[in-house]
Amino acid sequence: MSKNVKLAAPWVTYFRKIEALFGADPDIDVRLDEEKKVITLYVSGEDKADAIAQLLPFQKEFGNVTVQINVVPANRDEYQTVDLINLAFKGNPNLSYIETVEGIFSNKINYVVFKNEVVQYFNDNLNDIHGLTSTLYQDIFGTNKDVCFCTDLRLPSDTK
């Protein structure tokens, strides 16, 4: 009898089920970020990725732990990402600019920069005496491997 038997968390078991279902497919790479509680399926082909995304839930709850499930087209390159960003924010007056720079490993990093302005809304956040937040865009979108959402250092009056 082995003394090294360990129980897996329910979300790890769920990941293993998804991996068992899709892991043999050469077009799909399934990964778990256990710390962030995110299961990501990297799928070759946008049509296949869209189909899988519609079939899987966006999140799964295990008691007080919620696991996010992401389906990402693995063949989407940086230019398609920039096109996607441009499409998503076309005409949005809060957008300052989008810039693509080369990272330290010759990869492309896209910065989506929003105008520097005070965004005030009712918030029960006690971190700021005025109930303000300065990380609105980062909090909404977060950061992934090739897109960073941030706030411009320039004030809107500086751009006139």
Q: Are residues 131 and 151 in the same domain?
A: yes
The answer on pLDDT for 98 being more than 60 is yes
> Do residues 49 and 73 lie in contact, with contact meaning Cβ atoms separated by under 8 Å?
yes
Which among 73, 101, 119 is the end of a domain? 73
Which among 49, 73, 97 is the end of a domain? 73
d(CA 62, CA 110): 34
Q: Are residues 57 and 102 in the same domain?
A: no
Backbone angles phi, psi at 20, to 5 degrees: -65, -35
The answer on pLDDT for 160 being more than 60 is no
The answer to whether position 51 is within a domain reads yes
The answer to whether position 89 is within a domain reads yes
Write out pLDDT tens, residues 8-26. 888 888 898 888 888 778 8
Q: Are residues 57 and 86 in the same domain?
A: no
Q: Please say whether the dihedral angle defined by the alpha carbons of residues 91, 88, 148 and 98, taken in this order, is positive or negative.
A: negative
Q: Which range marks the domain in which residue 63 is found?
A: 10-73
Which among 55, 73, 91 is the end of a domain? 73
The answer on pLDDT for 89 being more than 60 is yes
The answer to whether position 140 is within a domain reads yes
Q: Are residues 111 and 54 in the same domain?
A: no
Q: Averaged over 49-57, what is the pLDDT? A: 85
pLDDT band (50, 70, 90) for residue 52 = confident
Q: Are residues 14 and 31 in the same domain?
A: yes
Mean pLDDT of the chain: 75
Record the pTM: 0.48
Q: Averaged over 97-108, what is the pLDDT? A: 77
pLDDT at 74: 72
Q: Are residues 86 and 153 in the same domain?
A: yes
Q: Are residues 67 and 110 in the same domain?
A: no
Q: Averaged over 40-63, what is the pLDDT? A: 86
The answer to whether position 144 is within a domain reads yes
pLDDT band (50, 70, 90) for residue 2 = low
The answer to whether position 150 is within a domain reads yes
Burial class (CB in 10 A: 0-12, 13-18, 19+), 152: middle
Provide DSSP, 39-100.
EEEEESSHHHHHHHHHHS-SEEEETTEEEEEEEEETT--HHHHHHHHHHHHTT-TTEEEEEE
